[in-house]
A = this chain, B = another copy of it.
Amino acid sequence: MSTPVETVAATASNPPHAAHEAAFAGLDIEQLRKYVQVTRHKLSAGQYLYHAGQPFMALYFVNSGCLKTVELADDGRDQVTGFRMRGDFLGVESIGLKHHACSAVALESGEVWELPYPAMLAACRDMPELQARLTAALAEEIRNDHAWMLAIGTLNAEQRVASFLLDVARRYARMGYSARHFILRMRRTDMANFLALKHETVSRVMSRLDELRLIEVERREVRVLDDAGLRQLAGVRAC
């Protein structure tokens, strides 16, 4: 598996797959438009797409940029539950609820497509493949969460960070970017929170992975030097 064109994802404003806009995660976006009023939203870094507690009205589809979803407790504790990029759905976790269960925040400028949920439900009746795609997205989200539960429950700090970097690399590769050289879109604090660590620990570990010559780090810029070594450390056999 080699990526045909490997460009460093340095700017969010220049996605390599802009020509794919007509393909909506394997669905015919034009057909979908007959049922669903799709609204585009430009987002800038730090901007909330939706807040926890706000009425749940629509799902969102990430066209470009990167967002984090944050679960928050009533006593102030918060937990980053995931990072969403081009091709990911947002808001599925709130299906069946009146109000959003978590918040979604843009980490950089980007664009999302708003898909009003009632219209989506209606469209599902006439487009069985949309129904299947939505259900699959939900199930995949569950599997993703379980994979991270496994990681957080069984791996130490180094292994968690290594796994995270490999996951980011894999996702960039899938989008056509380089899996060897990329820019992290989130702060150390967000990474740490997601991995159930402290940001100092993440910093320490990243520096250590650099010392070990598995990666090269300079702030948010990461270069993978020893992919196999990184996988071995992460406790992964294959990918």
Contacts and interface: CB of A to CB of B under 8 A. Distances in A.
A80 B96 CA distance: 25
A238 to B, nearest CB: 7
Nearest to A193: B153
A16 to B, nearest CB: 27
Interface in A173-204: 193-194, 196
Interface string A89-132: 00011111100011000000000000000000000110010011
Nearest to A148: B149
A96 B132 contact: yes
A70 B36 CA distance: 38
B142 A92 contact: yes
Contact of A140 (B79, B96, B140, B145): B96
Nearest to A75: B235
B96 A136 contact: yes
Given A145-B145, A145-B149, A154 B102 contact: no
Query: Is the interface on chain A under 10, 10 to 19, 20 to 34, or 35 or more residues?
Result: 35 or more
Interface of A: 71-75, 77-79, 81, 92-97, 101-102, 124-125, 128, 131-132, 134-136, 138-143, 145-150, 152-155, 193-194, 196, 235-238
A142 B96 CA distance: 12
A193 B132 CA distance: 33
A126 to B, nearest CB: 11
A237 B75 contact: yes
Contact of A93 (B71, B81, B143, B236): B143
7 contacts: A78-B150, A97-B139, A101-B143, A101-B146, A138-B139, A149-B152, A153-B194
